[in-house]
Structure 1
Amino acid sequence: MEPEPRNITWKGSMPHYDEVQTPLDLFRMFITEDILSNIVDQTNLNAMRKKNLALKLSLEELRRFLGVQMLMSILKLPAIRMYWENGIRYSPVADTMSRDRFISLRSFFHICDDTLMIPKGEVGHDKLFKIRRLYDAFSENLKKIDPEEIQSIDEQMIPFKGTIGFRQYLKDKPHSWGVKVFTRAGISGIVYDIEIYTGKGAVEISELGQGTDVVLRLVENLPRFMNFKLFFDNFYTGIDLIHKLRVEYGIESCGTIRSNRMRGAVLDTDANMKKKGRGSVDFRFERHSEVSVVKWYDNKPVHLASSYCAVTPIDKCQRWDGTTRKYVEVDRPRIVRDYNKSMGGVDLADMFLELYRTDIRSKKWYMRIVYYFFDMAVNNAWLIHHRQCKQINVQHMSLLYFKMDIARGLVLTGVSQSPRVGRPSLSVTKRNTTTSRDGMPLESVRFDQTSHFQDTTEKGRCRYEKCVRGGTSRIMCSKCKVRLCLNSDRNCFTNFHLK
């Protein structure tokens, strides 16, 4: 007998947006000025301690450094030095920062004061000390995002093959070797919480098991009794976990489950189900925990458990039949449909990360995690941008151009003048990195109230959207590179730079 229907309607709501924020503003939701200021202080301190070198890194220069790394993740070359070499020189990078300065900043990049680290083997030693301040701050910023109804928990891998005590191997991941991260993400791909795995013994395991403990820690900040729908695979799923989530957290959940965790539920044998054919199904409902366990036979038997759904309604799905060599329709219970539809949030986040991953090689394990944080900030910012555009009904930017806008905003926002460093190119025409695709300056540059000086140029059309006469002008903003009216009748120059 199936469970009696319950009201599982989501009680939450998505935020209302009145405008679409700029890419740089969305990025700053996750990588705040406090985070960057700490990196500046610790990097300068690290250079002085190691080499007795006054690095003189400023907040403005750190932003340019991060912008350069983002540009490198978009246009990838085999070696870092090639971005500055004549013949293949990439001017948006080479004109922003000299090669030696970039390598120097990358060498001394630091987040925490090493003198405060408790030595290995002593009580209180933290394996993640080198990134702890960034890790904690970034995690807290992730938790501030308004959560969506359908979410999933799965593992991600930060690729790294070097020597590290908590390196993991997961054969089914795109990057098999690296640092394992337990991740909670929405069906849209937005990441809401993460937990870096540092090996056995790092966290005390309760009697419910490691998988259950991870899930409970990752949902701790979710609003209670709002009927969120949570999905996970058989590493985490257990009858006790599903029951606890529903009773103590008000979260409905669903997941594949291992046959030895079903509390002795007797279901039809594999042989009998194979005789019945693909699409055959059997289930049991445990009244005490109010959890349904379903066994569905496809190419092989699959076990699933849920607190809110079971078999009905049954629909059809297409499966490949190797005998007839064509697609056939197979009966599919609701629990399988919901799981297949909703489980892919973390995988989607992984796919977005892989498109423009910062893949600068380093022997320092913690730098790979730092790159992961910054890439995740970009992807989350883009997905929130997508959410805002959909609500306001405007066209969203692609991830490529969104990340380019952030990179150029970091390079130029608050800069007193456009940086021009390094040797000039012998064969490559310099590109204007201050403007977007339509020739208008980035909003983060246009409204930063820094060094917008008047310059003279050839006569051309005024680019201010609200110019009354749509006249022509010889006055150009030296930073935005657009012509603007400035005369006794109208002051488009000033109005253009005000929100």
Structure 2
Amino acid sequence: MDDGNIDEATAENNEEQMSDSSDSEMNEVPQQIETQASESESNVEEPEAFSDSQDDRTPNALRNIDGPEWKAPQGNQPVLIPFTKESGVNKNLSELLIVEEPLGFYSALVYDGIFQYIVDQTNLYATQTLTNEKDVTPHARVNDWFPTDIYEMKRFFGLVIYMGIVRLPKLADFWSREPMFKTEFASAAMPRNRFQLLLNMVHFADNENNPQNDRLHKLQSLVDMVVHNFQTVLEPGETICIDESLIPFRGRLVMRQYLKGKRHKYDIKIFKLCCNEGYTYNIQIYAGKNIDQQQTTPTRVVMKLAEPLLDCGRTMITDNWYTSLSLAEQLLDRQTHLIGTLRKNRKENPRTVTEKKLKPGECFAGENHKGITILSWRDKRYVLMLSTKHSDSQTEVRNRRGQTKKKPEVVLAYNKGKSPVDKSDQITAYQSPLRKTIKWYRKLAFEILLNTAIVNAGLMYKEVKHENISILAFRKSVAYGLCSVRPPPAEEIETVMPNMLRNCEKNAWLACSKEPEEDSNLL
């Protein structure tokens, strides 16, 4: 049974994500529960019809069909330790950032050490490319390479952000002299050929030190550094949410996902833990079922992403791909509640609840000896929920039309707690700098550094400075700041160095990079 979004406002945002396709369990990206979608009754999944005698069963029948552990809801939910941590941006950091512009908030997440790491790996990759004479023709543009530095790398990333804000048909059009395309912003940051050379050479790992069967080697070190900063600067609140995001990619890649019903049918999957209005706290890239089958099961994904946040009395929100009775039990052992939608075909589900025939607006629930509640509710379609925090109680709510109706409290809690991932994905899509490429690691790096990190920095800005700022204005400010970075006056050699001297320095650097190979030949 597909999920939809119970909340009407959330349903509008996710409408184009809904699909009637049914993929395999690893390829299916479950959606939120949609209750206000206009669907015909023929599409509603009806449970097995009960006989008259079955319809009149009392809740005690739970004991007869599903064993003694399931019974009518008693409200005996487990009592966990209270959540007492102070959530939000680190206090000491807030005092420093209160006077900063958006670039200062972005630099708190993507600091100079990360840029220097990218510079080192880019220069290393360029050296490896140039020393391999078989891959370099005499007139190749790579022969014009000279080592980059942190100032140039910042301007490079600032230009990539700018290109997401201002869209032109081709990359070269940003340096075009035609009146229709002419702009001075890109040319003031760096020449076109240098930008294209950096775009070709930018790297995030040493290709010659690739561990066997590590598909994420080209990116994992960078992801670890950025995620560490995400987790250091902010403490999540009581409610956290896990879901997956999809990065469109049509190149050849073994861990690429195919989703027939989606707008972008070929994607790379990223598991995300979000909190606080869309702040991304942790990330795990899906590397494929065959290479890491044990770590990519739904329960393992949740436990790994949430490991730093367990044992604190928090509440985890998941959709029906992750939610199961075994996950709820594991989280309870770690002092964490679980609320989520549930698939009807899970083995541990009580049949009396999943197969109960209901009229619109009715709900039916069962509770086991650990206080875990599984509830079936019928609105426009059947909805199956699991909660370790709620019983079967309902609350009256008013919709946009002014109509009053009853909804289970677990449904309301799910709708409220599920929004961070959706908000993160929605804000990230605005002015995204992602472009078509055959290099998957570059696309994922730009997604993490120039989308996820910027959204996180924007949320920090709003919390610390108590100012509303659009994602467009925040991106513009960061792009301006990065593109205006220049080395100190004593290091501004490139602006006055004659071309001949610069070429001599480049040739000397290439000669030094080839010296070890020549020495080994002499020996």
Instruction: With the length of structure 2 as denominator, give the TM-score of the two structures.
Output: 0.71
Structure 1 position 302 matched with structure 2 position 383:
yes
- Map Cα deviations across residues 204-262 of structure 1 (whole Å, 9 max, x no partner): 428xx81111000011111x432212100111111111121122x21111001112226
Q: Decide which of 93, 102, 114 is 1:23's aligned counterpart.
A: 102
Q: In 2, Cα distance between the equivalents of 1:295 and 1:106? A: 52
CA deviation vs aligned residue, 1:365-398 (integer Å, no higher than 9, x gap) = 11111111112111111011111123xxxx2322
CA distance in 2, matches of 1:329, 1:108: 60
Superposed displacement of residue 104, structure 1? 0.6
SS at the partner of 1:55? coil
Counterpart in the other structure of 1:83: 174
Partner of 2:85: 12
2:354–2:376 CA contact under 8 A, matched in 1: no
**Residues 399-478 of structure 1: matches in 2 within 5 Å?**
399-416=471-488
Structure 1 equivalent of residue 457 of structure 2: 381
Displacement after TM superposition at 1:269 (Å): 7.0
Paired positions, count: 398
The 3-state SS of whatever aligns with 2:384 is: strand
Q: Taking structure 1 as reference, are residues 262 and 303 closer, same or farther at Cα in structure 2, changes over 3 Å only?
A: farther
Letter in 1 for 2:249: F
Structure 1, residues 41-94: CA drift from partner, whole Å, max 9, x if none?
221222222135452201111111111111111111121111111111221212
Determine helix, strand or coil for the equivalent of 1:293: strand
Decide which of 304, 323, 330 is 1:217's aligned counterpart: 304
Greater relative contact order structure (CA < 8 Å, 6+ sep): 2
Q: Match for residue 332 of structure 1?
A: 407
SS at match of 2:228: helix
Q: CA RMSD in A?
A: 2.5
Distance 2:323 2:99 in 1: 39
The one-character-per-residue Cα deviations of 1:401-456 (angstroms, maximum 9, x if unpaired) are: 211111121122454479999xxxxxxxxxxxxxxxxxxxxxxxxxxxxxxxxxxx
Q: Distance in 2 between matches of 1:365 and 1:91?
A: 30
Counterpart-to-counterpart distance in 2, 1:405 and 1:316: 41
The one-letter amino acid of 2:246's match is M
Question: 1:110 aligns to what?
Answer: 203
3-state DSSP of counterpart to 2:108: coil
Question: Residue 85 of structure 2: SS of its match in structure 1?
Answer: coil
- Higher strand proportion (structure 1 or 2): 1
What amino acid maps onto 1:364 in structure 2?
A: K
What CA deviation, in whole Å up to 9, does each residue of 1:21-54 have, x standing for no partner? 4322221232222221121122122222213545
Partner of 1:50 in structure 2? 129
Partner residue, 2:367: 285
Q: What is the 5 A alignment of 1:113-132?
A: 113-118=206-211, 124-132=212-220
Point out where structure 1 has 5 or more consecutive residues left out of the alignment: 119-123, 320-325, 422-499
**Compared CA separation, residues 101 and 269, structure 1 to 2 (3 A):** closer
Deviation sequence 1:134-161 (CA, Å, 0-9, x none): 1221222222231122211111011111
Q: String of CA shifts for 1:332-380, please: whole Å, max 9, x gaps.
A: 1001111112112111111111002112322111111111111211111
Q: Which runs of 5+ in 2 are unaligned?
A: 1-72, 132-142, 496-523
Helix, strand or coil at the partner of 1:225? coil
Measured after TM superposition, the shift of residue 317 of structure 1 is 5.0
Task: Describe the shift of the 1:220–1:398 C-alpha distance in structure 2 as closer, same or farther (beyond 3 A).
Answer: same
8 Å CA contact retained: 1:315, 1:332: yes
Aligned partners of 2:81, 2:362: CA distance in 1, in Å? 27
Please list, as runs of the form range in 1=range in 2, the aligned pairs for 1:46-445 lying within 5 A after superposition. Answer: 46-52=125-131, 53=143, 54-86=145-177, 87=179, 88-118=181-211, 124-144=212-232, 145-171=234-260, 175-205=264-294, 210-222=297-309, 224-247=310-333, 249-261=334-346, 263-267=348-352, 272-273=357-358, 276=359, 278-287=360-369, 289-318=370-399, 329-374=404-449, 375-390=451-466, 395-416=467-488
Whichever structure has more helix as a proportion of its residues is 2
Q: 1:363 to 1:264 in 2, by over 3 A?
A: closer
Retained in 2: the 8 A contact 1:96–1:420?
no
